[in-house]
């Protein structure tokens, strides 16, 4: 027969079978059975056992209540769902079994502990659903109340750039390739269930904006339903849904963000985000992440951002004064999220008040200067601080404690009953101090003390040496080594009065505090808008600071497809090298140069150049100034990158397979408004195959009008440089190298024309290969070069019987030359047919037998 506590636990575990259940017992959260074994292993804590019935001992592992957040965070980071079971009544006041229930389930997408989250990064829960062949995704950060809804081709893009911590799915085929998230399978929701969920959260007006049968409604309903199951209080923070506008952003997936080092990866210490993040608040840092993952394609909005950065860059005194106000400002966004979830404590509201006061000062300072439109709009929203600040100043103590145990949360003078109860507790403490003096005089015991502990309450302590002087009306309560503790009727009466006043004070302060939170929650939308305004101001100032410090320039945009960068620099590498050490380079992609083939030695700077062009385009459309003397750019619709390679062992894909899959995605999705960066395509297979694939990829991007993206193509296949003489919009460039005897100096300058050598053996020497290996490689290279120069046809047997490397780019034939000179777009149908006859005449028909 199991104990009542055991039966209570099993009932809760049956309700939450797929979670690790932490069961509150006194000052500990305990886990049992298989949960205990898992927790002991994952958290490296001791596994013990506990009797839970006749002849029944069960595995047990527990953690102290004050450290639960850290332990839960570790389990959630490993993909587990954790259910928190609390005691719903004070065990001291309950006869029998203490009522308990699960108050929330913590998952990777719903975790809210400050110590478990990165202040400068959002934490998204997402859901994806498909209806009638249409896909939609809903995302929410429950720590701030941010909710976004994307549909169509924007749905997978939004998931890829947002990188949610947890994804709810109906069908695994809906998950975008390359998305790394903890996935949860959910049963499909019917139209009635979808409609009910939306109406429950947003009211009946939700029906007018979202149809129950649509994918958008289903995705949002899945997200709301999951939050209701795991952390229902957080629904109070999710009040406004923002649609992701189709085509409004430059599309970036996680691969491109990773290849360009936009955000720090595992083991990395530098990134574009870190180079630009001079924000003084977590809100500004999160907004920077948003701007970098969702660059704009809207010229007027970009002009507003650049105007704001320009103003911040050229007004250093005002910028520094404003940043001084922002420094140390509490995270209003996440504090507002706690208000919406009704989980804010006294210190949270104290921090919110400090943030509101700083925001008020920020607005006052900004109103004294001429502001650009973006900052002026944000300044206008700062006026929302007045009402909540008045409510906080009136009700909340200037320095409230973290808990309600000792009172002092509510401001003196705000509530008369609170003041009376507070005076009673203060007077009772004074009485006890007076009692100690009085009893010393009455008994003549100079060492007599009046004290208190949580077990026995208040007592009078007398040393054993003075036991004979103890009056008869003293009642012994506890015997110690060398002392006795007593109580009197008078002491018990005052203790009762004091404890009653404390309990009543705590209850009353909690009720008034709850009303204050409700008052603030009624204006939650204003608090969230205020947090966004502060973030906007902070980010504009930060980007202005970076622009001024590193001589960034304002980019210009054109309506065509011309990209011209003068003295461009890589923002991250330049920062690592220090001022003046980075070698700047120009880049021009226009109607005459759609594809730029870049050759040169390893370590010479080819990949850096490719990345810096892509980063300058990304930074410009994010709203930042760029590291260049001048930058004129089109508004790209997407940036594609194929840089580096690694095996995907989990998917059973080799390095080359990964390379080909990524290249295929680029070729299928690129448009003339895209920027494509390809680094050494084809290197993962044999030379012949790799060169053939590389050329075919280049021809596809050049010849297909629907895929004619601006392309940077770095390669070691020097044969590909001959394409500049065949394809009219292909140009060559290489990294300049200076030879000093046997030594090679990489100049890191990009100059027109193809490179004549790869200098691979020189790089091998720099890398530290043994001298014997380097020398032998040099001799072999000379033999191979001599073999190529004997007049043999490449790819065919040479006179000595050996096969020479295939050249895919032999001298162009008469037909190829004629084709290259054709103005295809200007030919009439009749002229085109005539040209075909002329070209056929150039081809010698095979001899008949």
331: pLDDT confidence band, cut at 50, 70 and 90?
Answer: very high
> Of 119-128, 479-488, 681-690, 699-708, where does mean pLDDT reach its minimum?
681-690
Taking residues 482-506, report their average pLDDT: 85
Closest CA to 169 of 125, 209, 211: 125
Taking residues 208-215, report their average pLDDT: 74
pLDDT of 367 over the 70 cut: yes
* Percentage of the chain lying above the pLDDT 90 cut: 56
pLDDT, tens digit, for every residue of 393-405? 999 999 999 888 7
Closest CA to 353 of 516, 596, 122: 516
pLDDT of 820 over the 80 cut: no
* Model pLDDT, residue 792: 37
644: pLDDT confidence band, cut at 50, 70 and 90?
Answer: low
Taking residues 756-784, report their average pLDDT: 77
Closest CA to 568 of 598, 593, 595, 588: 588
* Model pLDDT, residue 803: 36
What three-state secondary structure class fits 588? strand
Q: Which tokens is 171 given? A: 């069908």
Q: Which tokens is 476 given? A: 């012994």
More confidently predicted of 588 and 787:
588
For residue 136, how many other CB atoms are within 10 A of its CB?
26
* Model pLDDT, residue 845: 57
* Model pLDDT, residue 762: 76
User: Could you give the count of Cα atoms lying within 13 Å of 559 in the half-sphere of its Cβ?
Assistant: 1
Do 140 and 227 contact (CB within 8 A), yes or no? yes
Q: For residue 645, report the phi and psi dihedrals to the nearest 5 degrees.
A: -160, 150
pLDDT of 607 over the 50 cut: yes
Q: Is 46 exposed, middle or buried (0-12, 13-18, 19+ CB in 10 A)?
A: exposed
pLDDT, tens digit, for every residue of 20-64? 999 999 889 999 999 999 999 999 999 998 888 877 889 999 999
Taking residues 309-324, report their average pLDDT: 96
* Model pLDDT, residue 503: 81
330: pLDDT confidence band, cut at 50, 70 and 90?
Answer: very high
Angstrom distance (rounded) from CA 419 to CA 711: 73
* Model pLDDT, residue 55: 79
Q: Is 491 exposed, middle or buried (0-12, 13-18, 19+ CB in 10 A)?
A: buried
522: pLDDT confidence band, cut at 50, 70 and 90?
Answer: very high
pLDDT of 840 over the 90 cut: no
Q: What is the DSSP string of 648-667?
A: BGGGTB-HHHHHHHHHHHHH
* Model pLDDT, residue 804: 41
Helices (H), 738-770: 760-767
pLDDT, tens digit, for every residue of 223-258? 999 999 999 999 999 988 999 888 889 999 888 999
Q: Going edge to edge, which strands form the sheet with 134-141?
A: 182-185, 166-169, 125-131, 134-141, 146-151, 241-243
DSSP letter at 713?
Answer: E
* Model pLDDT, residue 738: 78
Place of tokens 């091998």: 764
Within 637-773, strands assigned E span 638-642, 674-679, 710-714, 730-740, 743-752
Within 546-664, strands assigned E span 556-558, 563-568, 585-589, 595-599, 630-634, 638-642
Sign of torsion, CA 351 355 356 357? positive
The whole-chain average pLDDT of the chain stands at 87
Kindly report the length of the chain: 849
* Model pLDDT, residue 780: 78
Do 374 and 305 contact (CB within 8 A), yes or no? yes
Taking residues 817-836, report their average pLDDT: 77
pLDDT of 301 over the 80 cut: yes
Taking residues 587-613, report their average pLDDT: 91
**Facing residues of 598 across strands?**
714, 733
pLDDT, tens digit, for every residue of 535-582? 999 999 999 999 999 999 999 999 888 999 999 999 999 999 988 899
* Model pLDDT, residue 791: 36
Place of tokens 């049956």: 14
What three-state secondary structure class fits 330? coil
Do 450 and 436 contact (CB within 8 A), yes or no? yes
Q: What is the DSSP string of 226-254?
A: HHHHH-GGGGGG---EEEPPTT-B-B--H
Do 575 and 604 contact (CB within 8 A), yes or no? no
Q: Which tokens is 823 given? A: 């103005």
At how many degrees (to 10) do helices 416-443 and 489-522 cross? Answer: 160
pLDDT of 166 over the 80 cut: yes
Helices (H), 102-163: 154-162
For residue 539, how many other CB atoms are within 10 A of its CB?
32
Taking residues 585-613, report their average pLDDT: 91
What three-state secondary structure class fits 436? helix
More confidently predicted of 81 and 2:
81
pLDDT of 701 over the 50 cut: yes
Angstrom distance (rounded) from CA 743 to CA 479: 90
654: pLDDT confidence band, cut at 50, 70 and 90?
Answer: low
Angstrom distance (rounded) from CA 535 to CA 280: 9
pLDDT of 795 over the 70 cut: no
What three-state secondary structure class fits 805? coil
DSSP letter at 725?
Answer: G
The pTM (predicted TM-score) of the whole model is 0.84
More confidently predicted of 334 and 248:
334
pLDDT of 849 over the 70 cut: no
Taking residues 300-310, report their average pLDDT: 97
Taking residues 475-492, report their average pLDDT: 90
* Model pLDDT, residue 99: 93
- Nearby residues of 1 by Cβ (< 8 Å), 6 or more positions away: 53, 54
Do 43 and 78 contact (CB within 8 A), yes or no? no
Do 604 and 302 contact (CB within 8 A), yes or no? no
pLDDT of 813 over the 90 cut: no
Q: Which tokens is 43 given? A: 């958290």
- Nearby residues of 417 by Cβ (< 8 Å), 6 or more positions away: 508
* Model pLDDT, residue 844: 57
Angstrom distance (rounded) from CA 345 to CA 426: 24
Taking residues 658-686, report their average pLDDT: 86
Q: For residue 403, report the phi and psi dihedrals to the nearest 5 degrees.
A: -130, 175
pLDDT of 647 over the 50 cut: no
662: pLDDT confidence band, cut at 50, 70 and 90?
Answer: confident
């Amino acid at each position: 027969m199991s104990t009542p506590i055991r039966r209570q636990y099993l009932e809760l575990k049956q309700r939450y079978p797929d979670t690790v259940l932490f069961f509150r017992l006194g000052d500990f959260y305990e886990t049992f059975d298989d949960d205990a074994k898992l927790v002991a292993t994952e958290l490296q804590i001791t596994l013990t056992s506990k009797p839970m019935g006749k002849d029944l001992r069960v595995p047990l592992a527990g953690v102290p209540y004050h450290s639960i957040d850290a332990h839960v965070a570790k389990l959630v980071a490993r993909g587990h769902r954790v259910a928190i079971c609390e005691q719903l009544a004070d065990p001291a006041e309950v006869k029998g079994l203490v009522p308990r229930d699960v108050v929330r389930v913590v998952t990777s997408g719903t975790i809210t502990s400050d110590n478990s989250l990165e202040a400068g990064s959002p934490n998204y829960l997402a859901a994806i659903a498909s209806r009638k062949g249409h896909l939609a995704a809903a995302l929410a950060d429950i720590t701030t109340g941010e909710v976004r809804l994307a549909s169509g081709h924007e749905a997978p893009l939004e998931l890829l750039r947002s990188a949610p911590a947890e994804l709810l799915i109906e069908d695994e085929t809906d998950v975008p390739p390359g998305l790394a998230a903890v996935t949860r399978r959910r049963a499909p929701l019917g139209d009635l269930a979808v409609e009910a969920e939306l109406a429950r959260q947003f009211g009946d007006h939700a029906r007018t904006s979202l149809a129950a049968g649509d994918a958008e409604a289903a995705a949002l309903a899945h997200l709301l339903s999951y939050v209701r199951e795991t952390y229902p209080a957080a629904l109070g923070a999710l009040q406004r849904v923002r649609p992701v506008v189709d085509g409004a952003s430059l599309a970036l997936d996680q691969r491109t963000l990773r290849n360009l080092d936009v955000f720090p990866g595992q083991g990395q210490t530098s990134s574009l985000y870190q180079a630009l993040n001079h924000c003084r608040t977590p809100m500004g840092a999160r907004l920077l992440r948003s701007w970098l993952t969702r660059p704009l394609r809207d010229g007027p909005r970009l002009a507003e951002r650049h105007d704001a950065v320009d103003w911040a860059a050229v007004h250093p005194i005002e910028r520094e004064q404003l940043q001084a106000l922002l420094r140390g400002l509490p995270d209003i966004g996440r504090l507002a999220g706690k208000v919406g979830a009704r989980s804010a404590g006294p210190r949270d509201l104290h921090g919110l008040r400090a943030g509101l006061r700083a925001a008020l000062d920020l607005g006052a300072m900004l109103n004294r200067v001429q502001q650009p439109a973006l900052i002026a709009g944000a300044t206008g929203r700062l006026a929302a601080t007045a009402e909540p600040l008045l409510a906080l100043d009136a009700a909340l103590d200037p320095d409230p404690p973290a808990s309600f145990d000792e009172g002092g949360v509510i401001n003196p003078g705000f509530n008369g009953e609170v003041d009376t109860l507070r005076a009673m507790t203060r007077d009772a403490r004074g009485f006890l101090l007076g009692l100690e003096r009085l009893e010393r005089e009455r008994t003549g015991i100079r060492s007599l003390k009046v004290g208190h502990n949580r077990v026995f309450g208040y007592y009078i302590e007398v040393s054993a040496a003075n036991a004979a002087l103890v009056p008869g009306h003293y009642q012994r309560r506890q015997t110690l080594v060398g002392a006795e503790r007593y109580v009197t009727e008078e002491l018990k009466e005052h203790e009762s009065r004091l404890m009653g006043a404390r309990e009543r004070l705590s209850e009353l302060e909690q009720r008034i505090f709850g009303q204050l939170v409700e008052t603030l929650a009624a204006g939650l939308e204003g608090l969230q808008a205020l947090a966004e305004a502060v973030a906007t101001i902070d980010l504009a100032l930060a980007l202005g600071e970076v622009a001024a410090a590193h001589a960034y320039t304002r980019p210009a945009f054109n309506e065509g497809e011309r990209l011209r960068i003068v003295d461009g620099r890589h923002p991250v590498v330049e920062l690592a090298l220090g001022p003046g050490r980075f070698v700047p380079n120009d880049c021009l992609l226009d109607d005459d140069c759609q594809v730029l083939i870049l050759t040169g030695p390893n370590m010479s700077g080819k990949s850096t150049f490719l990345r810096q062009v892509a980063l300058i385009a990304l930074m410009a459309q994010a709203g930042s100034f760029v590291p260049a003397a001048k930058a004129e750019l089109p508004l790209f619709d997407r940036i594609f990158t194929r840089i580096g390679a690694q095996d995907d062992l989990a998917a059973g894909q080799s390095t080359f397979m990964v390379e080909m899959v990524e290249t295929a995605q680029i070729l299928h999705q690129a448009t003339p408004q895209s920027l494509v960066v390809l680094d050494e395509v084809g290197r993962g297979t044999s030379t012949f195959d790799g060169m053939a694939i590389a050329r075919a990829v280049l021809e596809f991007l050049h010849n297909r009008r629907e895929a004619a993206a601006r392309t940077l193509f770095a390669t070691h296949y020097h044969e590909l440089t001959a394409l500049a003489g065949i394809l009219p919009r292909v140009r060559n460039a290489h990294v300049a190298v200076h030879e000093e005897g046997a030594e090679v100096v990489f100049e890191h300058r990009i100059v027109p024309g193809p490179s004549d050598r790869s200098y691979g053996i020189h790089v091998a020497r720099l890398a530290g290969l043994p001298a014997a290996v380097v020398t032998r490689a040099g001799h072999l290279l000379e033999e191979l070069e001599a073999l190529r120069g004997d007049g043999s046809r490449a790819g065919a047997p040479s006179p000595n019987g050996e096969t020479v490397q295939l050249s895919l780019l032999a001298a162009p034939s008469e037909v190829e030359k004629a084709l290259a000179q054709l103005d295809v777009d200007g030919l009439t149908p009749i002229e085109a047919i005539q040209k075909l006859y002329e070209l056929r005449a150039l081809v010698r028909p095979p001899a008949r037998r």
